[in-house]
Amino acid sequence: TECRLVWFRKDLLRKMGWSEDKIDALYGQVERGEFTLDDLKVLAKEMVDKGVVEKGNAIWHRPTPGFDWYQFIFAYGGRIYDYKTGKLVVSKGAVLKMLKFLESLVKEGLTPEGMTQTAWRDIHSSWTSGKVGIFLTGGSWNWKEWQSAPYNLKEEDMFKNIGWFPIPSGIKGGKPVSVSHPVVHLISKASKHPELAMLIVTLASSVDLNVDHALGSGHLAIRQSELCYGEYREAKYTREVSKILKYSHFAPNDEKAPLYMQTLFEAVGGVESGSVTPEDALKFWIERLKNALGDRLLVEE
């Protein structure tokens, strides 16, 4: 599995005069709900005002659809799926707050207007070179990605200059969030050798293979027994970042989830570009989902 998180540049906070104790205290403040998404915005504005990043380079995020966008709905107290009815959900109040938050990042000069049109390579290059202060939609796998070509960061330098915490709540006193998308192995009823298929799945899920995958890719354990495996337990990064998993929400394994994700992203892009207001973006998004999903969609305040 994996976790999603916020990355921030410790080296830039030091340039702003932050002490190591103040930097280290951020994680706990996020956990306690003392440091919210609004506080993150205040920090980003301070980065611009103090000149450690250029205008528009304070907060960047992914330029594509993804499960990451769900975490902001959760952060504002919403949900995306009703497990009792099996319906996708639009929590209007939470989504509107999310869209207004993202709009404010652009209007206040913290995020570029064309963020959703930016190439991934440009995002990672700007982040790893220290030109961007906060990467809002990070994932645990970025850690290994940034140690590989063409970025080639050294892990020692990363621990020194890059910090992380779960996605802050949008509500003072609320819990932080993360999102994971576990996948499952299914054996078809049509299988002529279900026992053999089960054996293959079992072997593929073995502790040693999955520990190798996790350590090599920045992903996390899929079995409790992996947490006790020597190499995994001794790896500082996986040991520490795994603590975010307790805040994870799951993305739904629903056949219409890709449509939900894609159209939500289009709403985000429209708001950030200034072509539509958050209110209208929400209205248009709901209309599109209703037309596509019918009674498989639950809309709530």
Residue 199 sits in the same domain as residue 223:
yes
pLDDT for residue 216: 86
pLDDT for 189: 93
The more confidently predicted of residues 133 and 238 is 133
**Residue 272: CATH number of its domain:** 3.40.190.10
Residues with Cβ < 8 Å from 279, sequence gap 6 or more? Answer: 96
pLDDT tens-digit series, residues 66-90: 999 999 999 999 999 999 999 999 9
Q: What is the pLDDT of residues 21-73, one digit of tens each?
A: 999 999 999 999 999 999 999 999 999 999 999 999 999 999 999 999 999 99
**Residues 239, 257 within the same domain:** no
Residue 228 has pLDDT above 80, yes or no: no
Name the more confident of 285 and 208.
285
Same domain flag for 57 and 173: yes
The verdict on 74 and 38 lying in the same domain is yes
Tell me if 51 is assigned to some domain.
yes
Please indicate, yes or no, whether residues 224 and 105 belong to a single structural domain of this protein: no
Strand duo 59-60 + 134-139: pairing: parallel
Q: What pLDDT, in 10s, does the model give residues 116-153?
A: 999 999 999 999 999 999 999 999 999 999 999 999 99
Q: C-alpha angle with apex 89: 86 to 92, nearest 5 degrees?
A: 165
Whether the predicted pLDDT of 165 surpasses 80? yes
In a domain, 189, yes or no: no
- pLDDT band at residue 10, thresholds of 50, 70 and 90? very high
Which residue, chain included where needed, has tokens 């709009």? 103
Residues 241 and 256 in one domain: no
Residue 209 located in a structural domain: yes
* Model confidence band, residue 225 (pLDDT cutoffs 50, 70, 90): confident
Residues 117 and 260 in one domain: yes
Residue located via tokens 């995994």 = 232
Nearest alpha-carbon partner for 102 in 274, 251, 288 = 274
Higher pLDDT, 260 or 218: 260
**Within-domain flag for 185:** no
Mean pLDDT of 192-214: 91
Same domain for 262 and 219:
no
Closest CA to 281 of 299, 295, 263, 301: 263
Q: Which domain holds residue 36?
A: 4-180+250-300
Q: What is the mean pLDDT of residues 3-20?
A: 98
Most confidently modeled of 37-41, 201-205, 223-227? 37-41
231 pLDDT exceeds 90?
A: no
Using the predicted structure, report yes or no on whether residue 182 has a pLDDT greater than 80: no
Q: Are residues 145 and 42 in the same domain?
A: yes
Please report which confidence band the pLDDT of residue 185 belongs to, taking 50, 70 and 90 as the band edges. confident
Nearest to 257 by CA among 70, 85, 3, 102: 70
d(CA 71, CA 85): 21
Residue 157 in any domain: the answer is yes
In the predicted model, what is the mean pLDDT of residues 97-114?
Answer: 98
> What pLDDT shows up at residue 205?
86
Residue 28 lies in a domain: yes
Task: Name the pLDDT band for 209 (thresholds 50, 70, 90).
Answer: confident
Residue 187 lies in a domain: no
3-class DSSP string for 171-211: CCCCCCEEEECCCCCCCCCCCCCHHHHHHHHHHHCCHHHHH
102 plus 227 within the same structural domain:
no
Contacts of 240 (CB under 8 A, 6+ apart): none
Kindly report the average pLDDT of the chain as a whole number.
Answer: 95
List residues bridging with 82 in a β-sheet.
87
pLDDT category, 223, cuts 50, 70, 90?
confident
**Total structural domains within the chain:** 2
Q: Are residues 260 and 238 in the same domain?
A: no
Q: Between 184 and 179, whose confidence is greater?
A: 179
53 in any annotated domain: yes
Same-domain check for residues 265 and 223: no
